[in-house]
Every structure is written in C-alpha cells, then in structure tokens.
C-alpha cells in the first residue's frame, strides 16, 4: 500500500496487531513513518510480524498484552512511551467473535468473555492511552466497533452489544477530551476479509457469497481499506472530527 500520510516522529499503539485489520493498520502506520507498538495476546505471531516490519526498516516494538487484563494493557502502553518517548495515535482493535447463539441459550460465560475482550478491553486500552495523551495535550484514538455497533443481527446479541458499547465509550470520551487536544473516534468495519471472517466461513457460520451480496459494493472489504480509514481519522485531515462512528462497510448500513 502506498503511504498517504507522513507520521514521521509520531508513535502509534495498536492492539490485536498480530492479524487482520490490526496488522494492516500497524503496517500502514509504519509505512507512513510512525514508530509502532504492536500488542497482541498471541506473542509468537506478533513477535514474528514485528520482526518482518523491523527487517523492512521500520521502528517497531512487539508487546504481549491481553486486553482483558488491565495491568497488562497499562504496562504495554507504558512500555511504548518508555521506548519511543510519546504516544500520538492508538488503534484499539483487538476483538473476538463468539459462535452464533439463540439469545435464549447464550451462556453467561460467553457473554462475559466477549464483553471482556471487545468492550472492557477497549475501555482499558483507551484509559491508559489517555493517561499519557492528557499529559501531552494531544493525541488521536480510534476504537474498533463494527457494523454490529450500528445494527442488530440475529444470533449475535452479545457481540453486537459490545460493539454498540464501544460507540458509547467513544462518544463520551470524545466529549470529555475534545477541548484537551485528544480526538477519539470509532471505525465500524463491514464484513472484511480477515482470518476472523475466514474462520466464520470455514465453520459454516457465514456464507461468503451471501455476505458479498449483502453489501452495496458487492464484495468483502479488505483489511487495508479499514487501515486507510484509521489512518485518516488519526491524521490532521480529520482534525475537526471527533466522537463519530465511521462506517466502512461497502454500504451495508445504508439499507
């Protein structure tokens, strides 16, 4: 991907950076000149992809961080600032998709798990990023919601609840920090071709052709297309944009 932005001298922190959209965003930040901390629960993978970026000449740091553990998140953000001296941009992306369930059958364990990663994980990430950004008086945060933050879907109540919650967190924090130099937005990807969606197709949870036909732009999105939206939201071009939930969904939520 051709870098469109110049983030030289800036520092980005990405959660769930080992795969899919997190990895695409980390690559795009690096290609645009930023130093990038790649955090993920999958240490082996994030170490491998960070090494690839390093070999390409980028300034990167691989961090083991499970977003359900606030202490690990705080430590990962602190290590980023220790290593690179500041924190300018964050993409809070780590998330999971539980198997579809009739709402009458969903277990409390499944609800708690998806909530712990997709909502509490974003809460913890944003909280500890803001500790540094409020001192700095500048920063841009993008939280990963979903088309599932804007509409419902049968069988997916818990997942969609977490993604709606991400938008609530985003809007409230954006209002709190707008006059303090920090912009906070959410991105709402549609159905994007990533390992998460590949697993849903392989598991028979999602019919790829049906999913493609469900978009106005009748194909799945790419991780790089989401990364482009994330970088724009972090860029000076979006300097007057805060508190939004930006659909990048091929028109899915236009229906």
- Residues with a known catalytic role: 159
- Give the three-class secondary structure for 229: helix
- Residue 193: Cβ within 10 Å count: 18
User: Which of 96, 138 has the CB closer to ligand NAD?
Assistant: 96
Separation of alpha carbons 99 and 119, rounded Å = 17
**Nearest distance, CB of residue 6 and ligand NAD, angstroms:** 25
User: What's the chain's length in residues?
Assistant: 255
Name which position in 53, 95, 106, 132 contacts ligand NAD (CB under 6 A): 95
> How near is the Cβ of 245 to ligand NAD at its closest, in Å?
12
Chain-centroid distance of CA 48 in Å reads 20
β-sheet bridge partners, residue 188: 247
Considering only 14, 21, 158, 173, the residue that binds ligand NAD (CB under 6 A) is 21
Number of residues that bind ligand NAD (CB under 6 A): 31
d(CA 145, CA 43): 24
Sign of CA dihedral 207, 250, 163, 96: positive
Burial class (CB in 10 A: 0-12, 13-18, 19+), 110: middle
Which of 10, 32, 80, 93 forms a contact with ligand NAD (CB under 6 A)?
A: 93
96 in contact with ligand NAD (CB under 6 A):
yes
Binding window for ligand NAD (CB under 6 A); candidates: 49-57, 100-108, 173-181, 194-202: 194-202
Given the rule CB under 6 A, which of 5-13, 34-42, 76-84, 235-243 is the region that contacts ligand NAD? 34-42
Q: How far is CA 220 from CA 4, 190, 225, in A?
A: 23, 8, 10
Which one of 28-36, 81-89, 93-101, 235-243 is the stretch in contact with ligand NAD (CB under 6 A)?
93-101
Binding mask 102-141 toward ligand NAD (x if CB under 6 A, else -) reads ---------------xx--x--------------------
HSE-CB for 244 with a 13 A CA cutoff: 15
Cα(82)–Cα(98) distance, rounded to whole angstroms? Answer: 35
Binding mask 35-54 for ligand NAD (x = CB under 6 A): -----xxx------------
Positions touching ligand NAD (CB under 6 A) are 15-16, 18-22, 40-42, 65-68, 93-97, 117-118, 121, 144, 146, 189, 191-192, 194-197
């Amino acid at each position: 991907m051709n870098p469109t932005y110049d983030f030289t001298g800036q520092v980005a922190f990405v959660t769930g950076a080992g795969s899919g959209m997190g990895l695409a965003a980390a690559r795009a930040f690096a290609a645009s000149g930023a130093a990038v901390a790649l955090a993920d629960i999958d240490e082996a993978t994030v170490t491998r992809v960070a090494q690839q970026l390093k070999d390409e000449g980028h300034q990167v740091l691989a961090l083991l961080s499970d977003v359900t553990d606030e202490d690990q998140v705080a430590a990962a953000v602190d290590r980023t600032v220790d290593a690179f001296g500041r924190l300018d941009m964050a993409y809070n992306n780590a998330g999971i998709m539980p198997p579809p369930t009739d709402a009458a059958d969903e277990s409390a364990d499944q609800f708690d798990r998806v909530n712990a990663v997709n909502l509490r994980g974003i809460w913890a990430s944003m909280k500890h990023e803001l500790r540094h950004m409020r001192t700095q008086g500048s920063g841009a945060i993008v939280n990963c919601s979903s088309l599932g933050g804007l509409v419902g879907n049968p069988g997916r109540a818990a997942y969609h609840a977490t993604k709606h919650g991400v938008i609530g967190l985003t809007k409230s924090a954006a209002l709190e920090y707008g006059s303090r130099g920090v912009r906070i937005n959410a991105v709402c990807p549609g159905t994007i071709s990533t390992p998460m969606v590949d697993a849903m197709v392989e598991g028979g949870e999602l019919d790829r052709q049906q999913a493609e036909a469900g978009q106005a732009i009748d194909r799945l999105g790419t991780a790089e297309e989401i990364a482009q939206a994330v970088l724009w939201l972090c860029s000076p071009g979006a300097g007057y944009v805060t508190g939004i939930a930006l659909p990048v969904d091929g028109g899915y939520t236009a229906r």
